[in-house]
């Protein structure tokens, strides 16, 4: 299986062009240019397109024509999520409608004074989800790989300013685990994606869309071993100017009844499958996901 390489697609110049359009002409103009950029990737990105089509054809059993249409929509939706991220965080406009489901589950997690783990995936828009989470008035730590190209990261940092949450980078020596444990001890929340792994890291295998797939062991092992509540959160694009945020009922240590991470993985995959089936154009894993 070809594993994820830990880097985001795109160039600094591409980001600069869209930021300039956002600043001077607004979100809709950026979306208009995005139509042509999406078509370019649709026609030229054979490697990533094969991976997405594998999901559509073999996982979701789409016909060939529908799969190709959804593939173009996928590139367009990915571009929209990047535009929306900059528009919201840099204040360049973009009055996105927001609908939330299950916010009371997160409020219960925050009120429990035990901390908690928020698991998501590379579907929808995690940055927009972060803005929903600000309503909790509790410190949130995002655990992630330091995989973006440095030039892009520095440029976006100069545009969007400081993040509203703390970032814990995954380290080869596993020192990030101590930071996670310390944050939970302070009743803070830990947010992380649980659908990608880097080569050499431990994995768990579980059926996803009917076929065995590998998931990173770390998020599920932490959730099972540290005995804190876990919630699955997603922010999905709904139309051009709307987002639908969802937070699942809490998975508590008492419900798991075991420190086996497979139990938590099973619950996570069930939620992830629901999102991918409902929003197939927002599945953003551009590499062979299945064994």
200-253 tens-digit pLDDT = 789 999 999 999 999 999 999 988 888 899 999 999 999 888 899 999 999 988
CA distance 86 to 92: 7
Burial group, residue 69, by CB count within 10 angstroms (0-12, 13-18, 19+): middle
Query: Who wins on pLDDT, 149 or 269?
Result: 269
Residue-level pLDDT at 6: 46
pLDDT tens-digit readout, 112-145 = 888 899 999 999 987 777 766 776 778 888 888 7
202 CB neighbour count, 10 Å cutoff: 11
**What mean pLDDT comes out for the span 19-44?**
89
In whole angstroms, what is the distance from residue 165 CA to residue 141 CA?
6
What pTM does this model have? 0.87
pLDDT at 22: 80
3-state secondary structure of 273: helix
Confidence of residue 153 (pLDDT cuts 50, 70, 90): low
With a cut of 80, say whether residue 151 has pLDDT above it: no
Quick check: 230 and 206 in contact, CB under 8 A?
A: no
Domain ranges for the chain: 12-282
The whole-number average pLDDT for the span 261-290 is 94
Per-residue pLDDT, 232: 96
What confidence tier does 148 reach under pLDDT thresholds 50, 70, 90?
low
The helix (run of H) or strand (run of E) holding residue 166 is strand 166-169
Q: If you average pLDDT over every residue of the chain, what do you get? A: 84
- 244, β-bridge pairs: 99, 236
Question: Rounded to whole angstroms, how far apart are CA atoms 7 and 148?
Answer: 5
HSE-up (13 A, CA, CB side) for residue 183: 22
Query: pLDDT value at position 94?
Result: 62
Q: Is 205 helix (H, G, I), strand (E, B) or coil?
A: strand
Binned at pLDDT 50, 70 and 90, residue 1 comes out as: very low
Mean pLDDT within 155-173: 65
pLDDT for 161 equals: 54
Higher pLDDT, 36 or 197: 36
* Ranges 5-9, 81-85, 190-194, most confident: 190-194
Pairing status of strand 242-247 against strand 230-237: antiparallel
Q: What is the pLDDT of residue 169?
A: 82
User: For residue 145, what pLDDT is reported?
Assistant: 74
């Amino acid at each position: 299986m070809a594993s994820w390489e830990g880097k985001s697609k795109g160039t600094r110049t591409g980001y600069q062009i869209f930021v300039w359009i956002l600043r001077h002409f607004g979100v809709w103009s950026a979306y208009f240019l995005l139509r042509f950029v999406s078509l370019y990737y649709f026609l030229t990105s054979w490697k990533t397109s094969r991976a997405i089509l594998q999901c559509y054809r073999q996982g979701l059993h789409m016909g060939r024509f529908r799969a190709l249409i959804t593939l173009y929509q996928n590139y367009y939706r990915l571009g929209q999520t990047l535009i929306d991220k900059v528009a919201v965080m840099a204040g360049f406009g973009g009055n996105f409608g927001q609908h939330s489901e299950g916010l009371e589950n997160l409020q219960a997690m925050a009120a429990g004074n035990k901390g908690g783990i928020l698991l998501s995936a590379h579907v929808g828009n995690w940055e927009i989800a972060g803005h929903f989470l600000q309503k909790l008035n509790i410190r949130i730590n995002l655990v992630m790989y330091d995989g973006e190209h440095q030039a892009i990261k520095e440029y976006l940092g100069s545009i969007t300013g400081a993040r509203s949450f703390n970032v814990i980078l995954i380290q080869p020596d596993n020192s990030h685990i101590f930071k996670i444990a310390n944050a939970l001890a302070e009743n803070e929340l830990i947010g992380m994606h649980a659908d990608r792994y880097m080569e050499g890291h431990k994995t768990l295998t579980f059926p996803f869309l009917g076929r065995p797939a590998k998931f990173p062991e770390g998020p599920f092992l932490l959730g099972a071993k540290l005995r804190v509540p876990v919630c699955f959160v997603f922010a999905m694009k709904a139309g051009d100017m709307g987002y639908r945020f969802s937070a699942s009922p809490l998975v508590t240590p008492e419900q798991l009844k075991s420190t086996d991470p497979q139990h938590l993985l099973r619950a996570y995959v069930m939620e992830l499958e629901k999102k991918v089936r409902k929003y197939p154009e927002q599945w953003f894993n551009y590499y062979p996901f299945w064994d």
